């Protein structure tokens, strides 16, 4: 573990891998932003890639720290090979990520007309998104390449969709064509490491994350369904529309508006005090309900009501076993309510005496 400023720690890399690995936290720490984004969108390469990295993290750390021996070996490989050699791990990653991203784009396109507009023309973006997946994986680490060739191969193979009705076969052919095109014509060595400021890295990853999440939101909103109590499937956008026009939501909305207006005039502290009182932390409101009294009842009324109800619901008056058990529960409920109200009365008296003395 190096203590030099700016150097990456193998210990921290493993900690981030263990607790945030499926989301690419360790890759972000090691300045492997593309790798981090791929891991975030696929939950650690569908779990398999994350587990397989346990033995590769030391190499990633040496790369991030520009270890002299690691750099020397890298230069030697670049001299021996004019272009990066074929890697089954990377090629498989290009296929899986390209397939995953392309599928995400396809299911995000609304299948029905929305607001009178047919959005199915967005299906022509599927090859672009799939090629972006291939290109992103191909540009991880010390390898790079242009988007041109995988994009061209994806669009050339895209018309097969209209002849091959099995989407799995069509998608596999399209992504395989893009990956082969990248590996054959685009791939080359990255001879100068990328150096970006932390803020720029966060902004770029944030924008990419928002774009990817927008695909999920589009899929859930336009093509997702929920099942009601009768087993019927309802589109989510219809369910949301009905929810926001339901009497329950309108009441909640009006309550929130009233709360906000009250807070503007009296302050949020008063709102908080009312919330605490309404939550009945001492159980006083329920106790009044049990005894059948209102909050304005005096201690004398509370005591007389408690005595009367205790006599009426005393378990010894009931001979039936089941009835006696119910009476006993009611009796205990009355005793607890009386105890709560008596204690609250004493608290109020102590508080009033303290206020008067001050």
Task: Give per-residue pLDDT as tens, 104-131.
Answer: 999 999 887 777 788 888 999 999 999 9
Instruction: Region of 163 please: left (phi>0), alpha (psi -120 to 50) or beta.
Output: alpha
> Given a cut of 70, is residue 350 above it in pLDDT?
no
How many percent of the chain have pLDDT more than 70?
A: 95
What's the CA gap between 226 and 29, in Å, rounded? 39
Q: Are 182 and 138 in contact (CB under 8 A)?
A: yes
- Please state the domain extents for the chain: 1-80, 90-193, 282-358
- Provide the token pair at 36: 């981090």
| Summary mean pLDDT of the chain | 88
Q: Are 87 and 112 in contact (CB under 8 A)?
A: no
Predicted model pTM: 0.71
DSSP state for residue 4 in the 8-state scheme: S
Torsion sign, CA atoms 55, 60, 63, 64:
negative
Please tell me the predicted confidence (pLDDT) of residue 119: 85
Q: Return contacts of 216-223, CB within 8 angstroms, 24+ apart.
A: 216/104, 216/108, 218/108, 218/109, 218/110, 219/104, 219/107, 219/108, 222/108, 222/109, 222/110, 222/111, 222/112, 222/114, 223/107, 223/108, 223/110, 223/111
What's the CA gap between 337 and 289, in Å, rounded? 9
Q: How confident is the model at residue 1 (pLDDT cuts 50, 70, 90)?
A: very low
Q: Which 3 state secondary structure label does DSSP give 29? A: helix
* Among 51-55, 59-63, 102-106, 344-348, the least confident range: 344-348
| CA-to-CA dists, residue 39 to 87, 126, 172, 243, 270, angstroms | 18, 21, 21, 35, 47
Please tell me the predicted confidence (pLDDT) of residue 192: 84
Radius of gyration of the chain (CA): 34
| CA-to-CA dists, residue 340 to 120, 280, 329, 336, angstroms | 65, 12, 17, 6
Instruction: Region of 66 please: left (phi>0), alpha (psi -120 to 50) or beta.
Output: left
CATH 1.10.287.110 fits 282-358, yes or no: yes
> Given a cut of 60, is residue 314 above it in pLDDT?
yes
What's the CA gap between 163 and 315, in Å, rounded? 81
Q: Which 3 state secondary structure label does DSSP give 3? A: coil
| CA-to-CA dists, residue 26 to 38, 53, 226, 271, angstroms | 12, 11, 36, 44
Q: Are 89 and 161 in contact (CB under 8 A)?
A: no
Q: Are 142 and 189 in contact (CB under 8 A)?
A: yes
147-185 pLDDT tens trace: 999 999 999 999 998 888 888 999 999 999 999 999 999
Q: How confident is the model at residue 357 (pLDDT cuts 50, 70, 90)?
A: low
Task: Residue 228: count other Cβ atoms within 10 Å of its Cβ.
Answer: 9
């Amino acid at each position: 573990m190096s203590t030099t400023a700016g150097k990456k720690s193998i210990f921290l890399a493993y900690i981030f891998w263990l607790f945030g690995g499926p989301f690419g936290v360790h890759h972000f720490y090691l300045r492997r932003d593309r790798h981090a984004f791929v891991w975030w969108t696929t939950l650690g390469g569908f779990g398999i890639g994350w587990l397989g990295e346990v033995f590769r993290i030391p190499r990633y750390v040496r790369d991030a720290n520009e270890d002299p021996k690691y750099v020397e070996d890298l230069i030697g490989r670049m001299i021996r090979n004019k272009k990066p050699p074929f890697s089954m791990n990377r090629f498989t990653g290009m296929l899986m990520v390209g397939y995953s991203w392309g599928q995400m784009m396809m299911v995000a396109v609304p299948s029905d007309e929305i607001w009178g507009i047919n959005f199915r023309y967005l299906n022509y973006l599927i090859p672009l998104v799939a090629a972006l997946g291939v290109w992103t994986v191909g540009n991880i680490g010390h390898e790079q390449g242009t988007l041109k060739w995988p994009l061209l191969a994806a669009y050339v193979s895209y018309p097969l969709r209209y002849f091959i009705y099995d989407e799995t076969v069509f998608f596999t052919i399209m992504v395989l064509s893009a990956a082969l095109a990248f590996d054959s014509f685009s791939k080359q060595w990255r001879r100068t490491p990328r150096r970006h400021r932390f803020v720029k890295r966060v902004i770029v990853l944030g924008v990419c994350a928002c774009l990817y999440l927008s695909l999920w939101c589009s899929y859930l909103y336009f093509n997702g369904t929920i099942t009601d109590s009768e087993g019927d499937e309802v589109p989510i956008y219809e369910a949301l529309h009905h929810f926001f026009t339901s009497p329950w939501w309108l009441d909640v909305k009006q309550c929130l508006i009233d709360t906000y207006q009250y807070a503007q005039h009296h302050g949020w502290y008063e709102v908080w005090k009312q919330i605490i009182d309404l939550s009945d932390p001492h159980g006083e409101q329920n106790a009044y309900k049990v005894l059948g009294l209102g909050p304005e009842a005096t201690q004398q009324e509370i005591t007389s009501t408690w005595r009367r109800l205790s006599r009426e619901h005393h378990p010894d008056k009931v001979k039936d076993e089941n009835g006696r058990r119910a009476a006993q529960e009611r009796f205990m409920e009355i005793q607890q309510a009386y105890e709560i109200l008596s204690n609250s009365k004493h608290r109020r008296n102590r508080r009033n005496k303290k206020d008067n003395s001050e």
